[in-house]
Structure 1
Amino acid sequence: MTRPHTPQPGELPSLGQLNRATLIALGAAAALLVTIVLPAEYGYDPTGVGGMLGLTEMGKVKQAEHRDEAPATKPALPVPATPEQAQASRPVGQPVTVSLTLKPNEGREVKATMKAGEALVYRWHTDGAEVRFELHGEEFGAPADQYSSYEKGTAAKADGSFRAPFDGTHGWYWRNRTDKPVTITVTATGEFSSFAAKP
């Protein structure tokens, strides 16, 4: 049986060598952070190397997608009805159709005001291009950043039914990630007091 080699004091690295190796490792890590990680993950390129490697654009796309994950919501405060909202109010059972056109990189919402347990049947489609979407809802009086997400993805159309889990506004947030305007048309039938595009 062979005994493992035990290093002698002269074979071990000195404190100076260990410090130098640690500084080299820290320098390499910092260089990778600044030239690769920051451009690829955050779109921030202080040295310009990320741009030359095509990483900065990738990071900017990632950051834009992260911002898209949560729609900009506002506190649910009572506001005067606009003409568009007044037209969208109707008796239960009568379908309501709303159309809106999104400029490149623009996002907007269409919301139904519903009580807990009320249901609607919906169908929406674009004029061809796929858009990012999120079906979500906010309780009345909830903080601006508090909402419930039910479904999200990328599509050119969708249909189905939805039952409100709480009193509040429920609907879609769409974002046009193309370089041309996209028109979205959504129709809903069911139990809701209003169904309209948000400004």
Structure 2
Amino acid sequence: MSDGRAGALTTIALVRHGETEGESSVRYHGRTDVPLSELGRAQMRAARRELALRLGETRFAPVFSSPLIRAIEGARLIAGGGATLVTIDEFAEVHFGLFEGLTAEEIRERYPEEFARWRADPLAPAYTYPGGENRGAFVERVRRGLDRMLTMLANQPSDGGCALVVAHRGVIRAIVSALAGEEPSVELGSVHILERLGSRWHPRALDITAHLPR
């Protein structure tokens, strides 16, 4: 994607929030607002160290986050208390509807027909989670948030620095797809770095996980 709206900004670092209370590694929390677990907080501190190794002691200004507490907590742990935090409502995770808070096995047992339809093509734009959000509408929502973020960055002074986004699996996939044409795997606590070369964004590194405590 060619886009000059980010002004002098040359790098965007994206981090998926860490593990949450309530088994976030296996449950579809979606829009359910749950805080980070102790392991999740450790994952965010590890992500901060990984970013420092790869980018140097970069000052992220501002820091962008989903409005959900697990992302806000992660952003504060990575960026530190002095950073300006901007929440982007459009960066909230997809609404899973009836699937919220359930594991894949629980969804299969409770809603077998809907589970089969969903699993046939989990990322199909036409699919709507029962009682929740349409996949295509979700991606468009995230792209609106991305447009808003890039416009904000273009309107502020920059010395060619780095923006930080802390959000969710689906949100990060949608952002990386829009900017760089890639759809990475996005593990809990993973780090993704995009660089702008000329007017285009390119993946410098995607789905970095070696730093994560287990």
Whose helix proportion is higher, 1 or 2? 2
**Which structure has the bigger radius of gyration?**
1
Whose strand proportion is higher, 1 or 2? 1
TM-score (norm 1): 0.25
TM-score (norm 2): 0.24
- Structure ranking higher on relative contact order (CA contacts 8 Å, 6+ apart): 2
